[in-house]
Structure formats: structure tokens, C-alpha cells
Amino acid sequence: MSKLTHLDDQGRARMVDVSAKPVTSREAVAEGFVSMNTATLELAVSGTGKKGDVRAVAEIAGVMAAKKTSELIPLCHPLAIAKVEVSVEAADGGMAVIARVKTTGQTGVEMEALTAVSVACLTIYDMLKAADKGMTIEQVRLVSKMGGASGEYRREIA
């Protein structure tokens, strides 16, 4: 039997059957970073860019993306998400994005948190690309997850 749950015994992709799993409280946190030059960061923080308030638009885009994850990732289950919180903050060398997603269900929300961060980062890039095409989206990763059979996970800080 495969260790990858999205593959059957013949190696074919499949959506995992979660119907027998217990309903539990689940939460995931993901993060990402958009690096940019100082002038671009100042533009983003000032809110005077041509496309508007970068932070607010990116946060809303992240929330919307979390809710659409199952439409974007083929084998993800559609979930009744209880909470999505996306935070975009200025940081040294760019903008940091953190997403926290909660549900009560039979499968986790890691993909929803990662999708929220990814789309928020892409939105930041889109809104600022006229000022800095050299921006990079970096370190999109799961920070922690809670709930379900696999238990808790927390990224070790180096």
C-alpha cells in the first residue's frame, strides 16, 4: 500500500475517503514573504500606490483564496471553513504574510492556509510590480497544524 494517501494501490490519483474519520477541531498556520526594495516597501506601506491599499487587498485576496482551495487543488475536499485570518505586515526587506485557518471537520486545513498565503503574496506582487519587477515570493510554508489523526505539527525554528 502507498504511503501517499492521494494514490491508490495502482498509483492512480484519488480523493481520499474521509467519511469514516471523526469530526474534530482543526487549525493550520502558514507564512510567506515578499522581498522587495526599500522604495517599493515604502510605497506599499504608504497606501499611495496606483492600485490602492496593498495590505488590505492582499489580506482579502488571501481570505477569498482559502475559501476556493478545493477549486484550485484537484484532490482537496471542499470544507466548511469556520475562520480565515490573513495578516500582511511590513518587515525588514519586504512584506510578511501569515494565514490562520480553522474548521471543524474530517480533514485538515493546511492547504487552505498555504493557498491563502500564496495568493496574498501574489496579490502583493501584482499590486507593486510596476514599481519593482525584481520582487521575490519566498518561504511559503506550513508553520503549524492542529487536530486530526496525525496530531500536532510545529515548524522547528533554526
Of 17, 53, 92, 126, which one is the catalytic site residue?
126
Whether 62 has a pLDDT exceeding 50, the answer reads yes
Residue 120's alpha-carbon distances to 9, 23, 33, in angstroms, are 37, 29, 10
Residue 41 lies in a domain: yes
126 is catalytic: yes
Instruction: Report pLDDT digits (tens) over 73-93.
Output: 988 999 999 999 999 999 999
Mean pLDDT across the stretch 143-156? 87
**In sequence order, which residues have a C-beta less than 8 Å from that of residue 118 and are 6 or more positions away?**
32, 65, 137, 140
What is the band of 148 on the pLDDT scale with cuts at 50, 70, 90?
confident
Residue 115 lies in a domain: yes
Residue 85 lies in a domain: yes
Residue 118 lies in a domain: yes
Whether 136 has a pLDDT exceeding 60, the answer reads yes
**In sequence order, which residues have a C-beta less than 8 Å from that of residue 87 and are 6 or more positions away?**
59, 97, 98, 99
Residue 12 lies in a domain: no
Residue 155 lies in a domain: no
Specify the CATH number for the domain of residue 29. Answer: 3.30.70.640
Instruction: Report pLDDT digits (tens) over 10-43.
Output: 777 777 778 778 888 999 999 999 999 999 999 9
Helix, strand or coil, per DSSP, at residue 98: strand
Total domain count, the chain: 1
Structure confidence at residue 2 (pLDDT): 45
At which residue does the C-alpha cell 496525525 appear?
150
Residue 94 lies in a domain: yes
What is the band of 9 on the pLDDT scale with cuts at 50, 70, 90?
confident
Residue 119: domain span: 24-148
DSSP 136-157: EEEEEEEEEEE-STT--EEPPP
